[in-house]
């Protein structure tokens, strides 16, 4: 089936692809119950009557943006240089190197920086709706996004943490070495450069010949990496690096496919549990 010649069957495939990529039918059912279900049947404050598909706002089984490191991304990414990052403040407490905005974070920001409508996608439902530069799917927004600029973006007048913007100086650093550096493929579970970070629960594995890191939160069955662990994303583009090493990204703390905790946190933040999973304070 040609990427430009697809119909309803394609978006049956989206559900199947989502199940393969994100683990199980339960994961797909989970997102249907969250604010990230932007479809006409979504339960959140923003819904769009142009499609009943759920996954299509972020993912496509064909024609995805291959510059994105997340699976089959269906949105156009902004240039990393368009963001102002936390390290520009020059704070003395920031002792890790910072890579350009990328990895999974730049995918999250393609919705949450408020620069484009959420119904702008590369491969929209229906035949002949493929546009690698991104195009807006026809339809009407209901909810706060209906008053956004552009309409359908999270850049609406009411102040909200969901509209992070392109100035990231007031947000937790992303694309930053875990623990100030010191951990990489040659020293996968040793000490970090900054002793105020948790290395006791820092886990490492080789999956598909790639170095993978996470911080075990002891929520769940334990052992292997779980969605309730703090995910660290492997990068090798830090200024002084070269070896694969763990970085902190948006999805380290947030899981976009679950409704268990407020703001999609991977674990409940009771007693600052999310913060203290990594920071020794």
Q: What is the pTM of this model?
A: 0.87
| pLDDT for the residue numbered 92 | 87
pLDDT tens digit sequence for 121-172: 999 998 889 999 999 999 999 999 999 889 999 877 666 778 899 999 999 9
Q: To the nearest whole number, what is the mean pLDDT of the chain? A: 88
| pLDDT for the residue numbered 161 | 78
| pLDDT for the residue numbered 154 | 85
Could you tell me the pLDDT band of residue 6, with boundaries at 50, 70 and 90?
Answer: very low
Burial group, residue 144, by CB count within 10 angstroms (0-12, 13-18, 19+): middle
Give the C-alpha separation, 94 to 253, whole Å: 19
What is the residue whose two structure tokens read 């009557």?
49
Q: Does residue 29 or residue 103 have the better pLDDT?
A: 103
| pLDDT for the residue numbered 21 | 38
pLDDT tens digit sequence for 213-234: 999 999 877 678 999 999 999 9
pLDDT tens digit sequence for 232-250: 999 999 998 789 999 999 9
pLDDT tens digit sequence for 262-273: 999 999 999 999
Q: Are 68 and 105 in contact (CB under 8 A)?
A: no
**49-73 exposure pattern, b = at least 16 Cβ within 10 A, e = fewer:** ebbebbbbbbbbbbbbbeebbbbbb
> Does the structure show a pLDDT above 60 at 8?
no
Q: Write out the H or E segment, with its range, that includes residue 252.
A: helix 250-253
Percent of the chain with pLDDT over 90: 77
Task: Name the CA dihedral angle for 100, 104, 108, 113, rounded to a multiple of 10 degrees.
Answer: 0
Give the C-alpha separation, 224 to 231, whole Å: 12
| pLDDT for the residue numbered 222 | 67
Give the C-alpha separation, 76 to 223, whole Å: 36
Token pair for 63: 């024609």
pLDDT tens digit sequence for 14-48: 333 333 333 334 444 589 999 999 999 999 999 99
Token pair for 71: 């699976």
| Domain limits, the chain | 8-147, 176-278
- Apex 26 CA angle, 21 and 27, nearest 5: 40
| pLDDT for the residue numbered 63 | 95
| pLDDT for the residue numbered 159 | 62
Q: Are 122 and 75 in contact (CB under 8 A)?
A: yes
Could you tell me the pLDDT band of residue 259, with boundaries at 50, 70 and 90?
Answer: confident
């Amino acid at each position: 089936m040609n990427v430009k010649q697809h119909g309803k069957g394609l978006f049956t495939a989206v559900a199947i692809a989502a199940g393969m990529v994100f683990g199980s039918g339960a994961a797909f059912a989970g997102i249907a119950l969250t604010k990230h279900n932007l479809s006409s049947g979504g339960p959140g404050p923003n819904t769009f009557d142009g499609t009943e598909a759920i996954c299509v706002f972020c993912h496509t089984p064909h024609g995805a943006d291959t510059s994105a490191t997340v699976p089959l991304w269906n949105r156009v990414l902004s240039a990393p240089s368009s963001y102002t990052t936390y390290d520009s403040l020059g704070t003395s407490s920031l002792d890790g190197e910072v890579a350009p905005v990328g990895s999974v974070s730049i995918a999250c920001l393609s919705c949450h920086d408020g620069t484009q409508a959420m119904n702008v996608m590369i491969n929209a439902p229906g035949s002949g709706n493929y546009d690698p530069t991104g195009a807006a799917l026809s339809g009407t927004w209901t909810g706060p996004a209906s008053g956004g600029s552009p309409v359908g973006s999270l850049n609406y007048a009411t102040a909200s943490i969901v509209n992070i913007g392109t100035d990231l100086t007031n947000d937790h650093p992303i694309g930053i070495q875990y623990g100030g550096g010191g951990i990489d493929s040659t020293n996968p579970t040793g000490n970090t450069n900054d002793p105020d970070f948790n290395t006791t629960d820092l886990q490492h594995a080789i999956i598909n010949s790639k170095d993978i890191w996470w911080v075990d939160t002891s929520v769940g069955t334990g052992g292997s990496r779980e969605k309730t662990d703090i995910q660290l994303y492997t990068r090798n583009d830090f200024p002084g690096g070269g070896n694969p090493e763990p970085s902190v990204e948006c999805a380290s703390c947030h899981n976009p496919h679950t409704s268990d905790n407020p703001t999609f946190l991977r674990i409940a933040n009771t007693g600052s549990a999310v913060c203290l999973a990594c920071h020794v304070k």
